[in-house]
A and B are shown apart, each in its own frame.
Chain A
Amino acid sequence: MKKSEPMSESYYYILLCLAKGPNHGYGIMQMTEKLSGGEVKIGSGTMYGATSNMMKKGWIRETMSGEAGLERRRLYQLTPEGRTALRAEIARLRRMLDNAEEV
């Protein structure tokens, strides 16, 4: 397999926000801001483009929230392929940090 390319910050955070379970776009945006202490924001255009591309890659898929009585919402869910891609990216980032410490 070809070595995977570095992910953009937005892709990385979107996958990270879905690691513990499905979420909607706004939830991902808020969680990203919270996780990064306000450093990373995901605007609507970036969000739509990133989710579209990652759905094409098969890393995430769309589901609907099934809670009765609540408004049904569009949710994004991590696929096994997406989890693998996220793990690979985390390993890549970890290696880079480790290398920094070795030098």
Chain B
Amino acid sequence: MPRQYRTSFRAYAAWNYQKELEDLNRASDQGWQLVRGGCFHSRFVKNPAIRYRYQLDYGPIEDMGRYIETFREQGWEYINSTFNGWHYFRKLYDPSLPEEEYEIFTDRESFHEMNNRWARLALIIGCLLGLCALFFAVRVLIPAPNLPRLIQVLTLLAESLVLIRGALIMRNPDEVRRRKESGLFLALFFAVVFLGAGSSIALESLRPDYYTEQGATSVEAPIHDNRWMVFQVTYPDRYYLDLDIEAEKPLTFAVLDGDGTPVYEVTETDFHEKDLALRLSPGSYSMSMSCESGFHLTTRIE
């Protein structure tokens, strides 16, 4: 008979890994044995003849050989590790043995240490995301409110809070053992992450990104208000201008809005600036230049 395989796309929050173990044990009792564990999908093979008990460990492993040997000595078979540092183990289940035989952390300190490794990382990432949310809110959203930025800030904030909450749960060993969350919360969280990523990508793709370079060794007649580039702004935000001016006589460069009013203007012979922040509202803009001599000008707006 061919081997029967099944792939499960069930995901679990890190602080809910006891629920994952419970589900793996139940699957094993029903004849589905884990062959590869993962964060987003796991693979099982059908074998009703045996039963396993599973355990998860988390963290970087310095000496994989010693690690696997330490587990094998007590009957644990190493299955695999995920890209983000979770390690799956299984042990043949003998119902006559006490449940402690299937624990890998036998004191409070080591159990806490393992959970805390994850909690520490989650806390750092959570705080960084929170700071990002704060930064975007203060520097971009409040000066130039728009819906995609609002979504970006709110989703960053939500991600930050969920991670910090997860870290706080993981720091409490009793809470980790007790906690059995439904998958709905995680599904909702993923939806928020996708929404946030989507709004960030949309924001980026809607931004103008133009680069121009022009120059002449000399000009026959003064150039006056030469508008050479029109660009569109679809949502209010901070946009960044790079500008390099080299001219014999002062050159005037300006960014004009749809009515021809300058939103930025500079008159210089030698001027180099990067990431000049311009707060622009939606509309069409053009770049303008006036000069009487040879010049070299490069601009970039993004």
B71 and A44: CB pair below 8 A? yes
Give complex CA distance A9, B110 in Å: 11
Given contacts A43-B103, A45-B57, A74-B66, contact A50 B73 (CB under 8 A): no
Chain A 31-55 per-residue mask, 1 if CB under 8 angstroms from chain B, else 0:
0000000001111111111111000
Give complex CA distance A41, B98 in Å: 12
B: which residues have CB within 8 A of A?
A: 55, 57, 62-63, 66-67, 69-71, 73-74, 76, 89, 100, 103-107, 109-111, 113-114
Give complex CA distance A70, B105 in Å: 31
B114 and A49: CB pair below 8 A? yes
Q: Which residues of B contact A52 (CB under 8 A)?
A: 62-63
Complex: chain B residue closest to A7, CB-CB: B109
Q: How would you classify the secondary structure of chain B's contact residues: helix, strand, loop or mixed?
A: mixed
Q: Which residues of A contact B74 (CB under 8 A)?
A: 25-26, 29, 43-44, 47
Give A1-15 interface residues, CB cut-off 8 Å to B: 8-10
Complex: chain A residue closest to B102, CB-CB: A43
B106 and A43: CB pair below 8 A? yes
B105 and A46: CB pair below 8 A? yes
Option from A9, A25, A45, A62 in Cβ contact (under 8 Å) with B55: A45
Count class of interface residues, chain A: 20 to 34
5 tightest A-B CB contacts, nearest first: A45-B104, A26-B73, A43-B106, A46-B110, A44-B71
Q: What total of A-B pairs shows CB separation below 8 Å?
A: 66
B106 and A25: CB pair below 8 A? no
Q: Which residues of A contact B100 (CB under 8 A)?
A: 41
A41 and B69: CB pair below 8 A? no
Complex: chain A residue closest to B72, CB-CB: A44
Give complex CA distance A47, B150 in Å: 49
Option from B55, B73, B110, B111 in Cβ contact (under 8 Å) with A29: B73
Give complex CA distance A51, B71 in Å: 13
Give complex CA distance A47, B259 in Å: 74
Q: Which residues of A contact B109 (CB under 8 A)?
A: 8, 10
A: which residues have CB within 8 A of B?
A: 8-10, 24-26, 29, 40-52, 62, 74
Give complex CA distance A42, B111 in Å: 12
Q: Looking at the assembled complex, report how far the CB atom of B196 sits from the nearest CB atom of chain A, in whole angstroms.
A: 35
Q: How would you classify the secondary structure of chain A's contact residues: helix, strand, loop or mixed?
A: helix
Complex: chain B residue closest to A27, CB-CB: B73
Give complex CA distance A49, B109 in Å: 10
Q: Looking at the assembled complex, report how far the CB atom of B63 sits from the nearest CB atom of chain A, in whole angstroms.
A: 8
15 contacts between A and B (CB under 8 A): A8-B107, A8-B110, A10-B109, A25-B70, A25-B74, A26-B73, A43-B74, A43-B106, A44-B74, A45-B55, A45-B71, A45-B105, A45-B110, A51-B70, A74-B69
Q: A10-B109, A44-B89 are in contact. List 18 more A-B contacts (CB 8 A).
A: A8-B109, A10-B110, A42-B106, A43-B103, A44-B74, A45-B55, A45-B57, A45-B105, A45-B114, A46-B110, A46-B111, A47-B70, A47-B74, A49-B113, A49-B114, A51-B70, A52-B62, A74-B66
Q: Which residues of B contact A46 (CB under 8 A)?
A: 104-107, 110-111
Q: Which residues of A contact B106 (CB under 8 A)?
A: 10, 40-43, 46
Complex: chain B residue closest to A53, CB-CB: B113
Q: Which of B70, B73, B100, B103 has the most CB of A within 10 A?
A: B70
Q: Looking at the assembled complex, report how far the CB atom of B19 sits from the nearest CB atom of chain A, in whole angstroms.
A: 19
B107 and A9: CB pair below 8 A? yes
Give complex CA distance A49, B105 in Å: 9
B103 and A48: CB pair below 8 A? no
